[in-house]
Structure formats: C-alpha cells, structure tokens
Chains A and B, each alone.
Chain A
Amino acid sequence: MSTALAMAGVLAAATASGGGLPIPSPDPLGYPVPPILLQALSYFTLTLHFLAMNLTVGSVFIYLWLRIARKQYDDRLARYLRDLLPLGTSYLITFGIPPLLFVQVLYGQMFYSSSILLGFHWILVIPLVVFLYGVFYYQKLVKNPEHPGVLLLSVLAAMALLGVGFFFVNNITLSVSPEKWMGLYAKSPGGRNLNMDDPTLFARWLLILAPGFTVAGVAILFRGVMMLKWGLTEEGRHNHRIAVSVAVVGMVLEAVAGVWILSAMPDDLRSHVTSAGLAKLLLGLGTAMASVGLVLVFLGRYKASWAYPLMASLAFFLALAPLVALRDVVRQEQLRPFFSLAEVPVHTQWGMAGLFAVFLVAGLLLLLALHMMVVPGLIAGRRAELRESA
C-alpha cells in the first residue's frame, strides 16, 4: 500500500514540474541539414501554399456571391473563378506538402503528439479534401452547373474548405501547448480533441483565411486586364471594380484578425512580437508590402497593363513570406520553455540535399519551358471562345 502511495506521489510530483510533460524526445536521427535551411525552404513553400489556399478560398466565396448577385458580366466572371477552383485546390495540396514535411522534420515530436490528440479531427481533413476537390471538378464538368443541387454542393465544399483550415489551426496551436496534452489524452483516448479554449484560435483562423479575398482579387485583376486587352472594355472595368473591392475587404479583415490575435496573445508573447528585433522587422515588412500590394491593385484599376497585377502578386508574395517567417518566430518563442531547435543534433546529408537541389532546379526549368510552349496556345484558344460568346 505504501509503495503504491509512494509511486503515486512520484507521479504527481513529476507531472507538476515541466519535466513531467509528455513531450516525446526528438528523433534519434536528428536534422539532415542545419535547421535554418529547412526553415527557409519551409517558409518559401508555405507562402506558396497560403497563396494557393487563399486563391481557392477567396474564389469560392466570391463565386458563390456572384452566382447569387447575377448582375451583368457576373456570370462570366463566376465561370472564370469556378474554373480556377480545381487548379487552385491541386496546388494548395501540392504546395501544402513541403511545409507539412518540414514541420515534421523540425518539430515532429510536438506536431505528431498534437495530431494524435486531435485524432479523428485530423484524419477528417482527408475526406473533406476529397469531397471539396471532387465538388470543384464536378461543378466544372457537369452539364448544368446552374442546378440548385450543384450550388448546394458548392456551399458545402466552401464549408469543407473552412473546416480543413479549422482543423489545421487547432493542430498548430495545440502543438505548441504541451501543458494541455496529458489532460486531453486522458480525456479522449480515441482522439476527438480540439483546442478551442486557446484564445488565439479563432483569430488565427481568420488570419489565414482573410487574405483569400485579396488574392482572389488579384486573380480577378488579371482577368480584367485580359478583357481590356481583348477590347472587352465594359467587362474589364467591371472586373477591376470587383477586384479592388474584394482586395480591400481582404485587407480590412486581415487587419482585424491581426489586431485580434495580438490582443488575444499572452502579454509576454505580444511584446516579443511587437518589440523584439527580428519579429518586429518581419511584422513591419509584411504589413508594409501588403499595403504596397493594395496600392498597386488600386493603381491598376482600369489599366490594360500586366505590370500592375504582376507587381501586386509579387508584393503580396513578399508580404506573406515575412509573416510566415514571423509565425515560426512566434512558435519558437512559445516553445522556448520546452524545446529549441539548437538542442537537436545535425547529421548532415549534403549528398541528398544536393541531389534534391538538382532535381528541383531541373524540374522547375522543365515546367517553365513547357509552360512557355503550351500556355500561349491555351490563352489564344480561350480568347477565341470568349469572343464568340461575348
């Protein structure tokens, strides 16, 4: 009996201190290259993922709105957005893979733990993605996309997209909160947990989704330029008006989300983000470039010039990248009591890294060359179709 009590005492004591937290030890194989390289790759690909995701999210919501509004030219714009959706989804999945890979290399022991605790909610992402992806193709290929049943499916697909984002945000926030883990594990062995008591959760969710309108706005800006260049001036101006409006809406929502998340953060974290050197720089850079992007969108109104949407795209890329990096800086700050990247040994695999670099460059060059050969023909064909149906 006394042994039992003693053991219980030991356990209680262990759990009380930070050392008793069930944080798995990092993988014995360590990192294959200095972590900064993995982080850089991760930021770059995550930015691309967010851009593709934002494009898809923004497009589906604007598409739904246009389908309801149905003013002149709305239908054609809606069709453009609708046709973008499968492509957007493909690339959001494709660009989502590298950052997920790198987060598992860098922070695997945190991420796997939170994933398992999320359990069903985490695996639910897969059927949701299959569903929404399928719906996007279906509504593109079906003979009668105007059918109310198809519209309903589109609404469900949009909700599924939001749901996927929700589960991701839960996972990411839980992965940096190991103090909650044991309790959640004891409560729900089958893995049906969420992290909704995290004060920054919903702010974070809005933060990643809000730019959707802005990115979709840039896509609409591109279309508007195309219309203007092909002499379809009325339509081009219509598109540009919508582009500017939605871009502004996106920015406003993002600003709201930014303020919300900062106020919901614990004080020390917030001060770190807003005053510490690197974090402040990244935040400033991101905000500045986003503003530049918005200005470029506005300046490009009614102008038949590729320069504006192209430069706006670049500006938004350069806005998102530092914010993505900031995200990681915040994560490392939150993990500081428990884990730091420096404590993991590096067993270098320069050969493999080099091989990857070779394949990456060769692959991108090949794809670029193919695009240059194929895409002009596609655009010419589309122009002819649009001219006929105008």
Chain B
Amino acid sequence: MNYPIWDVGGLGAGLVVAIIAIIHVLISHVAVGGGAFLVVAEIWSRRQPDGQRIRDWLHKFATFFLVYTTVVGATTGVGIWFSIQLASAEATSLLIHQFVFAWAIEWVFFLGELTVLYLYYYGFKRNTPRMQTFLAGAYFVIAWGSLVVINGILTFMLTPGAWTLENKDIAAGFFNPGYFPALLIRTVTMFLLAGLAGFLVASRIRDEEFKARIIQFCVKWVIPAAILVPGLSYWYFTTLPASTVSILGGGTVGVVGGTLSALTRMAILAGVAGTLLVVGTLVFAAYPKTVNTIAAISMLLVAQLGIMGAEFFREMGRKPYVIHGVLYSNGLWVKDAKDPAQLNGSYLEKAKWHGGVAPRTLAHGEQVFRLQCASCHTRDGYRSVVYRTRDWTPEFGSRWLGTMQDMGVMPPFQGDALDKAALVAYVLSLRGETVDPRDLVRDPQATAERNGLDPGGRGQALRGLEVAGAEVAQ
C-alpha cells in the first residue's frame, strides 16, 4: 500500500523475477566456475606437449565465455534488480538502505572482474604465461568475491538471523545462519556448471582424440560436485526458519500434493538430478569420443532442472514473507500486522495508492486485490485466485479472509469488514457472479447461519485451498 503494484496479468510480477533469475543463476554460476576452469586450463595447457592446440581451444572457450557472461550474465543480474524493484519495492528499499555499501563493494568486484577478464581475453596472445594465469586466477577470485557479497544479502531475506529493524545489526544480518551453507552450495554448483559448460564447448571439437582429453578433464569437475550439492543442501535445510520447514514439510494437504510433502519432492528431485548427472558423466568418461552437442546440452538441462526445482521449493518456503519475520510479500510490515489498530482499520484510508476508487464498489475490491493479493496471485493465471476460490460463497469468503494467516503461507488480511466484502465481491465477479459489495456487509452473521458452513458439501478434502499443515475453519 506504500507503493503501487505492477499488475502483470497471467504471470504476476513475481514470475517475471523468477524467469530473469533462472537465466541469471545458470549463467552467473557458469561464469564464476568458468573462472576456476580457466585458471586450471591455463596451467594444464602449458604442461601438455600440444599446448598450442589446447590454447587455441581455450581461446574459443574464452570467447564464448566472455560474450555470454557479459551480454546475458551481467545484464540479467541487473535485470533481477530492475524486476525486484517492480515486484517488491518495499523489500528492495529495505535491502538497499541496509546494505548499500555491501552492494557498493560488490560493484567494486564487478568492475574488477569485468576489467580483468578483458585484460585476460584481449591479451590472450600477447601476455606472458604467468600474467595470463594470474589474470585468470584474479578473475576467479574476484568473481567468487562478488558471490561472497551478494550471498549475504540473498540469504538475509530468508534467514535474517539476529537482525531486527530496531537493532539494524548489519553483521548479524549479513553473516546470517543461511550464509555459509548457501555459499558452499553455490560455490560447488559453480564448479559443476563450469564442467558441464566445458562439455558443451568440447563437444564441438572435431578431433576426437583431443575431444576425449578435454572431456576427461571436465569430468573431474562434474562428478564430485554432483555428489556434493544434494548433500550440502541438507546442511542448508537445517538453517531454515521453523515456519519455512513446516510449510515444506507439511507440503500441500488435500488431494494436490498427497502424501508427498514439498520437502520430499524436493529431495527426490535433488537426488534424481544428482544421480543422473553422475551416471551421464560416467558415460561421458567411458565414451568420451561419442559426446555430441545434444548430449552435453542434456546434461546441462539435468543440472538446470535440479537447480530450478530447488529454487522453486525454496521460494515456496519463503511465503508469506519476502523478508522473513519482517515484511510480508505484499508490502505489509510484520510490526504493523501485530498492531490490531493498524491491521483492522479501513484499508482504503491507509493505502496511499487507492486509485481514487469509491468504497464498497467492485473497483474498491479490485484495488484491495491488487495491493494485497496481486504480489503473489494472478486473477486467472499463475496461482489463480479464480481457481482457488471456485467454491466460495460470499459468507465463506469473508470469514476465510479473517483467518487466512493460519494457513502459514498467507499474510493476515489488512482491512475492515468493508474491505473484506469488497474483495470478496470482486473475486466472485471474476468468475462471472455479480455480487454487490454493499449487500455483503448488511448482516453477515445471519447469512452465514442461513447458508450453512460447508461450501461444497460434497465431502471432499480441502479443494482449491492449498494449505500447509493447517486446517481451514469449517
């Protein structure tokens, strides 16, 4: 309500962040891992009798590397920044005001990494071997340094640790409980992806003997990482906040998730992806000459699916907060939510971005939807509200809004009975029902008793309400 909302129909602003972030994570991790790869390849190439041929291949790798880490990698990183300020300006503002100098330090690393890479690349044929190796090494250290910094800010969001809005303890917030596990996982993932990228570039080599040697070189990067990453994830999991664990552990009751909690599904995906990577890489190791571009891309796909899956579940566990325990995803501060006067007062009067709507109209309901719900839900697309409320009656809806925070994944509703009525009317209108919001506040108690409590009455388990480990008031 402090900020306007970017209402991206069908997708939701959050998915825009996710799409850009998925691209960025893949490329940035390859970029840093690739740095380590370059250092080792530099040293290795000078020890081989056919060093020149290896260096020619390395130059091709470096070209590919330079172009896509800068053109797509760096820009999508900035892209995440652009998209988060659109999706969640309040949270972005908090992060920037708390961590501006951390970001500034990261920028120094960013500047260094880029410049050193240029010196390495443009001096490829002219620099002395020692300088080349030094530059590659410097690139890796600096690029890894940028991860060291951004990791603090990222992990802070899910596990702020001892930081509070009052104490503003930046050290506690930066070196939070999730920091070191995440740092380790990401670093190992970087080596994994660097090796897989190496497969891809190697698959284009025509000379089969030479290709085989490069493949064997890359295999040593992939297999240990593929085994370690799922294992390290367990360490990360132990640092997650209790509510996140209960969301993931409870999973989704009702017929959608079934007996498999989100956590189990995540573990299965991680385990399967890791195992398949090891198996595939062993096949590469046994038959290196047969590695073609499709096979290399397939392995990258397996890794990417594992990573995307893990990130998807992490995001699931983040709800309802964007900064855990401090700020809900829709811009409501936890401290305000704890104050009944703030929480239950008229929303339209408090919301700065009320859009000039008149109260108790569908426009009022739409504004409430946009400012409180649209940060996570779309009307009829991703996380569809229409789907989730398909069995709502007005009375049930209004009452449900009053207890939705008990689900664990939802913030509390901010507003009074008028706001609830307007929102319910709007939501019902999305599926074609015309409900006048003014009718809904006349005598909610009597109407509820008249219409009975069970909406569908078909004895089904909780349809349309994907809930984590909690019961909906019946």
Contact in complex: A93, B168 (CB < 8 Å): no
Whether A25 contacts B75 in the complex (CB less than 8 A), given A32-B101, A105-B100, A186-B355, comes out as no
User: In the docked arrangement, what's the CA distance between A100 and B100, Å?
Assistant: 11
**Selected contact of A7 from candidates B4, B94, B359, CB within 8 Å:** B359
Whether A130 contacts B76 in the complex (CB less than 8 A), given A11-B354, A32-B97, A112-B3, comes out as yes
| Stretch of A296-304, A322-330, A368-376 that contacts chain B | A368-376
- Which residues of B lie under 8 Å from residue A380 when comparing CB positions? 126
Contact in complex: A29, B9 (CB < 8 Å): no
Contact in complex: A360, B108 (CB < 8 Å): yes
**Selected contact of B93 from candidates A104, A189, A367, CB within 8 Å:** A104
Whether A27 contacts B112 in the complex (CB less than 8 A), given A125-B82, A356-B101, comes out as no
User: In the docked arrangement, what's the CA distance between A45 and B226, Å?
Assistant: 41
- Which residues of B lie under 8 Å from residue A117 when comparing CB positions? 4
* A 8-51 binary contact with B (CB < 8 Å = 1; else 0): 10110001000000111101111110000010000000000000
- Which residues of B lie under 8 Å from residue A284 when comparing CB positions? none
- Which residues of B lie under 8 Å from residue A371 when comparing CB positions? 119
- Which residues of B lie under 8 Å from residue A7 when comparing CB positions? 348, 358-359
Whether A363 contacts B111 in the complex (CB less than 8 A), given A101-B103, A104-B85, A355-B101, comes out as yes
**Selected contact of A347 from candidates B6, B107, B116, B168, CB within 8 Å:** B168
* Interface status of A271 (Cβ within 8 A of chain B): no
Contact in complex: B170, A11 (CB < 8 Å): no
CB closest chain-B residue, reference A370: B119
Interface residues of B in 83-98 (CB under 8 A from A): 83, 85-86, 89, 92-94, 96-98
- Which residues of A lie under 8 Å from residue B254 when comparing CB positions? none
CB closest chain-A residue, reference B79: A126
Contact in complex: B75, A370 (CB < 8 Å): no
User: In the docked arrangement, what's the CA distance between A375 and B358, Å?
Assistant: 66
Contact in complex: B8, A105 (CB < 8 Å): no
CB closest chain-B residue, reference A371: B119
Smallest CB–CB gap between A106 and chain B, Å? 10
| Stretch of A133-141, A220-228, A274-282, A306-314 that contacts chain B | A133-141
Smallest CB–CB gap between A351 and chain B, Å? 8
**Selected contact of A97 from candidates B86, B110, B359, CB within 8 Å:** B110
**Selected contact of B355 from candidates A100, A185, A360, A377, CB within 8 Å:** A185
- Which residues of A lie under 8 Å from residue B360 when comparing CB positions? 4
CB closest chain-B residue, reference A101: B103
* Interface status of B353 (Cβ within 8 A of chain A): yes
- Which residues of A lie under 8 Å from residue B293 when comparing CB positions? none
* Interface status of A196 (Cβ within 8 A of chain B): no
* Interface status of A59 (Cβ within 8 A of chain B): no
Smallest CB–CB gap between A292 and chain B, Å? 29
* Interface status of B49 (Cβ within 8 A of chain A): no
Smallest CB–CB gap between A177 and chain B, Å? 14
Whether A25 contacts B2 in the complex (CB less than 8 A), given A90-B70, A94-B110, A363-B108, comes out as yes
User: In the docked arrangement, what's the CA distance between A119 and B8, Å?
Assistant: 9
* B 103-118 binary contact with A (CB < 8 Å = 1; else 0): 1110111111011101
CB closest chain-B residue, reference A138: B67
Contact in complex: A377, B110 (CB < 8 Å): no
Q: Is the interface of B mostly helix, strand, loop or mixed?
A: helix
* Interface status of A231 (Cβ within 8 A of chain B): no
Smallest CB–CB gap between A167 and chain B, Å? 11
Contact in complex: A115, B85 (CB < 8 Å): yes
- Which residues of A lie under 8 Å from residue B79 when comparing CB positions? 123, 126
* A 68-92 binary contact with B (CB < 8 Å = 1; else 0): 0000000000000000001100100
Contact in complex: A8, B4 (CB < 8 Å): no
Contact in complex: A352, B71 (CB < 8 Å): no
Whether A352 contacts B4 in the complex (CB less than 8 A), given A22-B352, A363-B111, A370-B116, comes out as no
Smallest CB–CB gap between A23 and chain B, Å? 7
* Interface status of A266 (Cβ within 8 A of chain B): no
**Selected contact of B123 from candidates A94, A125, A377, CB within 8 Å:** A377
**Selected contact of B100 from candidates A32, A113, A377, CB within 8 Å:** A32
User: In the docked arrangement, what's the CA distance between A118 and B435, Å?
Assistant: 33
* Interface status of B127 (Cβ within 8 A of chain A): yes
Contact in complex: B359, A8 (CB < 8 Å): yes
Contact in complex: A378, B111 (CB < 8 Å): no
Contact in complex: A123, B82 (CB < 8 Å): yes
Q: How many residues of chain A have a CB within 8 Å of chain B?
A: 75
- Which residues of B lie under 8 Å from residue A101 when comparing CB positions? 96, 100, 103-104, 107
* Interface status of A163 (Cβ within 8 A of chain B): no
Contact in complex: A356, B104 (CB < 8 Å): yes
Smallest CB–CB gap between A175 and chain B, Å? 12
* A 333-367 binary contact with B (CB < 8 Å = 1; else 0): 00000000000000101011101100110010011
**Selected contact of A381 from candidates B94, B125, B131, CB within 8 Å:** B125
* B 358-373 binary contact with A (CB < 8 Å = 1; else 0): 1110000000001000
User: In the docked arrangement, what's the CA distance between A381 and B127, Å?
Assistant: 11
* Interface status of B135 (Cβ within 8 A of chain A): yes
Whether A29 contacts B108 in the complex (CB less than 8 A), given A108-B93, A133-B71, comes out as no
* Interface status of B194 (Cβ within 8 A of chain A): no
* Interface status of B16 (Cβ within 8 A of chain A): yes
Contact in complex: B114, A94 (CB < 8 Å): yes
CB closest chain-B residue, reference A352: B101
Contact in complex: B356, A15 (CB < 8 Å): yes
Interface residues of B in 295-327 (CB under 8 A from A): none
- Which residues of B lie under 8 Å from residue A24 when comparing CB positions? 2-3, 89, 352
CB closest chain-B residue, reference A117: B4
CB closest chain-A residue, reference B16: A123
Smallest CB–CB gap between B147 and chain A, Å? 15
User: In the docked arrangement, what's the CA distance between A360 and B359, Å?
Assistant: 53
* Interface status of A122 (Cβ within 8 A of chain B): yes
Whether A104 contacts B359 in the complex (CB less than 8 A), given A25-B2, A134-B71, comes out as no
User: In the docked arrangement, what's the CA distance between A86 and B92, Å?
Assistant: 30
Smallest CB–CB gap between B362 and chain A, Å? 14
- Which residues of B lie under 8 Å from residue A165 when comparing CB positions? none
* Interface status of A253 (Cβ within 8 A of chain B): no
Contact in complex: A189, B123 (CB < 8 Å): no
CB closest chain-B residue, reference A140: B67
- Which residues of B lie under 8 Å from residue A112 when comparing CB positions? 3, 85, 89, 92-93
Smallest CB–CB gap between B153 and chain A, Å? 12
**Selected contact of B70 from candidates A123, A133, A366, CB within 8 Å:** A133
CB closest chain-B residue, reference A184: B4
Contact in complex: B131, A352 (CB < 8 Å): no
Q: Among the interface residues A24, A87, A102, which one has the most CB atoms of the partner chain B within 10 A?
A: A24
Smallest CB–CB gap between B421 and chain A, Å? 12
7 contacting pairs across A/B (C-beta < 8 A): A8-B358, A32-B101, A125-B82, A129-B78, A185-B4, A356-B105, A360-B104
Interface residues of B (CB under 8 A from A): 2-9, 16, 20, 63, 67, 70-72, 74-76, 78-79, 81-83, 85-86, 89, 92-94, 96-98, 100-105, 107-112, 114-116, 118-119, 122-123, 125-127, 131, 135, 138, 165, 168, 170, 348-349, 352-356, 358-360, 370, 438
Closest 5 CB pairs of A and B: A112-B89, A352-B101, A29-B97, A126-B79, A22-B352
Besides A29-B97, A32-B100, A90-B70, 14 more A-B contacts (Cβ < 8 Å) are: A22-B4, A32-B97, A94-B114, A108-B93, A109-B3, A116-B85, A126-B76, A130-B72, A182-B356, A189-B7, A353-B101, A356-B105, A367-B115, A378-B123
